[in-house]
Structures are given as structure tokens and as C-alpha cells.
Amino acid sequence: MISKNDVILDNEDIEIQLFLEGIYQKYGYDFREYSRAHIKRRLLSKKVRENFSSISEMQHRVIYDNKFFLEILSEFSINVTEMFRNPEFFLYFRKEVVPYLKSYPRIKIWHAGCSTGEEVYSMAILLKEEGLLERCQIYATDFNEKVLKKAKEGIFSMESIKDYTRNYIESGGKKDFSDYYIAKYDSAILNQSLKKHIMFNEHNLVVDQVFGVMNVIICKNVLIYFNKELQNKVLNLFDKSLLKGGILCLGSKESLKFSKTMDTFEVYDEMNRVYRKKFQGFNK
């Protein structure tokens, strides 16, 4: 018997729930705790574009067609990014975090949810200008193999360079941004030297475990697509992956407030969403 406190799902929501369960059971990718509004929006858009009659019809297709599953994977992936996105964050990192990192002989940085790599290369440029890149290892991860392939190539549209250049200048860039790429037809090919200290790997924040202990973790504009329970799970993963005194950088709409890990960290800069894992005896 249904009580007044039970949540009654409509048919479409039930179909989506079964769709996500099917993907998890067949492929091991767990989207069940992603923001339902985000998932629903992406699936309904795909349904209309591909002329499916229902989500259930899409579920049958995704279970029996691996190629279609990869299309769905791309639909769920969040790939809104650009070089030196939120330049005020990079300026803050350059002025306030870099001096602290210089106290370490070797530095490990994890870009979680790196998408097509623009912000990873931005950090590599910043570290190069601050004389730190040679002692850094940057790990760039995403669950989407397609976007990782593009990130590894390091080739971006020349149409975007004007915006990237403006961001670079606002982030405190010390050189001419054109020093870091070669223009070829309508593409900008980033310098190979930037890739030397970057390792791109598949990693799913939802189901995969810690793969190293880091000095810095950067995960921007990913948690906003997770529900509260999944946010706490991922933040716990970051906690386990950071050295004491390690730096955690989140997106402008994300915060550790009200999370289960908030007591493990202290605010380094709330405006830029930069936090430091507590470490007794270390003063900012």
C-alpha cells in the first residue's frame, strides 16, 4: 500500500531509472546518482533527435548496441570548457598557491573530469611560467574516451584563440600566448613540450578508486551534475587522494559547505573555491 510520504514517479521517470540501471548492469558506468534533471534533459534531447518513441525503446538499443552506448556516454559527458576558464582562479593560483607548491621537490596534480583538456594545458602553461613544470606530473582524467582522445591531441580551433588569449592575459600570463601554439590552417596546435608532463587516463569518479596521492586536485564544474550522496562519495575520494596540506580546487558553483568532508578541509579562498586539507603545524 502506498503511503502519503511515498514519491510517485511518472512513467517517463521510471523509464529513465530503468535506463540508467541497464547501463550500470551492462557496462559498469554508474549514472544513477547524477543530477536527474541533467540526465533527463540529455536523454529527452537525444530521444527527439533520433526519433525514438520512448526512453524504453532507447534502453533496448543501448543494451544491445555498444556504438549507441558510446553516443549516450558522450551525451552524459560535460564538455563545456576553455583555456584559462575563470581567469581569476588562475590568477589566484599563480599568486597564492604556486608559492606554497614551490616548497615541494616533486608535485603531483590531478585534473579530474578534464574533458577536452583546455584547462589542463592552461595549468601546464602557468606552471611553466612559474618555473614549476619540470618538477610536476599532471594527471588528467575523464570517463569519456572520446574527449580524452581530443585532449591528447592538443589541437583547438583558431576561432577560440581570441577568447583564450584574453583569458590568458587576465590570468596573469607573462608571455605572448601565441608562443604556446602553432597556427595551421584553422587550427592551433599546442607545443609538444607542454604534453611532456601530462598523462591522460580514463577514470570514472563514480566507480573507480584512488590511483595516487596528490599535492593538488582540480575538479571544476563536475560535482554540480551529481546528487548530494554522490558529491560526498567523490569528495571522500579526493580526501583520500590528497596529502595533508594538499590543495583542492572546485568550480565556482561548488563548495565543501555542508559536505561530509568539510571538517577535513579548511578554506584557502572561498571566492575561488580553493580548500586545503588540514595539516597540523602548517600556516597559510
What does pLDDT average to over the chain?
90
* Alpha-carbon Rg for the chain in angstroms: 20
pLDDT of residue 75: 80
Instruction: Tell me the whole-structure pTM to 2 decimals.
Output: 0.81
Q: Tell me which residue range forms the domain holding 52.
A: 11-76
How many domains does the chain contain in total? Answer: 2
Which pLDDT belongs to residue 56? Answer: 93
**Nearest Cα to 198, choosing from 275, 118, 144, 131?**
118
User: What pLDDT does 283 receive?
Assistant: 43
In the predicted structure, residue 282 carries a pLDDT above the cut 80: no
- Examine the domain organization and report whether 109 and 54 are in the same domain: no
**pLDDT tier for residue 6 given thresholds of 50, 70 and 90:** low
Residues 185, 141 share a domain: yes
> What is the C-alpha to C-alpha distance for residues 254 and 75, in angstroms, rounded to an integer?
22
Q: In the block, which residue shows the cell 535506463?
A: 19
Rounded-to-5 percentages of helix, strand, coil across the chain: 45, 20, 35
What is the DSSP code string of 233-281? HHHHHHHHHEEEEEEEEE-TT---TTSTTGGGEEEEETTTTEEEE--TT
Considering the domain architecture, whether residues 231 and 125 belong to the same structural domain is answered as yes
Q: Single out the residue in 48, 76, 104 at which a domain terminates.
A: 76
Q: pLDDT digits over 244-260, tens only?
A: 999 999 998 899 988 88
Residues near 167 by Cβ (< 8 Å), separated by ≥ 6?
82, 83, 84, 85, 87, 90, 122
DSSP labels, 188-249: EEE-GGGGGGEEEEE--TTT------EEEEEE-SSGGGB-HHHHHHHHHHHHHHEEEEEEEE
**Can you give the CATH number for the domain in which 104 is found?**
3.40.50.150
Per-residue pLDDT tens over the stretch 43-58: 999 999 999 999 999 9
Least confident of 10-19, 101-110, 165-174: 10-19
> Which residues face 111 on adjacent strands?
140, 218
